[in-house]
Amino acid sequence: MIVFFIRRLGQSLLVLLIVGLVAFSMFRFVGDPINNMLGQERTQADVDRMRVELGLDRAILTQYGIFLKKAVQGDFGVSYRQGRPVIEVLAERAPATLELALVSGALALFFGIVFGMYTAIKRDSFIAKSIMTASLIGVSLPTFLIGIALINIFAVKLELLPSFGRGETVKIGGWTTGFLTRSGLIALILPSITLGLYQMTLIMRLVRAEMLEVLRQDYIRFAWARGLKERSINFNHALRNTLVPVITVTGLQLGSIIAFAIITETVFQWPGMGLLFVNAIQFVDIPVMAAYLMLISLVFVTINLLVDMLYFAVDPRLRVSGGKG
């Protein structure tokens, strides 16, 4: 286990390095930051001078090398757009995204499993079919359109929920939270539904598919034959055995929720890292883009590591070969 863990840690570090390199080689395809940084009155000489100051005239590998050297010392540079240290900017934005991801992930997991089980057990009931159809409609439209539709209905027409932002936040240490105020909690509703809808449907369909399969297996039939209670069969036997694929997918989705909060955050002007990244792309804010991508890959690598660990815990069959790698 420890060997496995150390080896995975080493691989993860390599992943981070490669992500950084790939990121740096693609920035010039995003655009050129200089026009955004100089006013309309800039001369050609100003442009040339700034290119040198930013080090954009150097080879990509050199630029990446300089970035890494500073990053190791904890210095991720200064945002071209905000003029503040990238670390500070990311730390300011992270709570918004993490809270949104947490809420929509929890909603997706809870409703995904509940609806998935229900639609598997009561396969042919009207409610089960309605749930399946409604969820399908939800994932058959682009996220941004769902967000805009929700704003139109709940903010403009009904004037019930806010159309943008986090509401009032409370600062605890370095963390701003929206969980402690009424307006903060209300502000979470529409964005978390928008963000979690797709994940929920995915989990629900997966749970349903696996449940249907497991419910037909011999040992479940034995359980019925032994006269076990329905609830016990559904939860202890059937659900348990559907968990491996559910854990895999959910684990992956958690990371995706954070990474793909980009669209939801843009639509709802949610002041998180996704919005920061969209702004960074538009401005070609290289230090922010680099740090954001490194951070997201760190999240993915960690989640994947945890998912693999969970495999060991849940499925004993894997333990045999697990020691090797």
| Cβ at position 119, least distance to other proteins in Å | 11
| Cβ at position 216, least distance to other proteins in Å | 6
Decide whether 121 or 244 has the Cβ nearer to other proteins.
244
| Cβ at position 126, least distance to other proteins in Å | 14
| Cβ at position 235, least distance to other proteins in Å | 21
Decide whether 156 or 225 has the Cβ nearer to other proteins.
156
Q: Considering just the CA atoms, what is the radius of gyration of the chain in Å?
A: 24
Decide whether 168 or 230 has the Cβ nearer to other proteins.
168
Decide whether 114 or 260 has the Cβ nearer to other proteins.
260
Determine the angle formed by the axes of helices 273-283 and 86-121, rounding to 10 degrees: 120
User: Cβ of 320: how many Cβ atoms within 10 Å?
Assistant: 8
Decide whether 233 or 301 has the Cβ nearer to other proteins.
301
| Cβ at position 44, least distance to other proteins in Å | 5
- Please provide residue 161's backbone torsions phi and psi, each rounded to the nearest 5 degrees: -125, 155
| Cβ at position 161, least distance to other proteins in Å | 9
Decide whether 214 or 229 has the Cβ nearer to other proteins.
214
Decide whether 73 or 321 has the Cβ nearer to other proteins.
321
| Cβ at position 313, least distance to other proteins in Å | 15
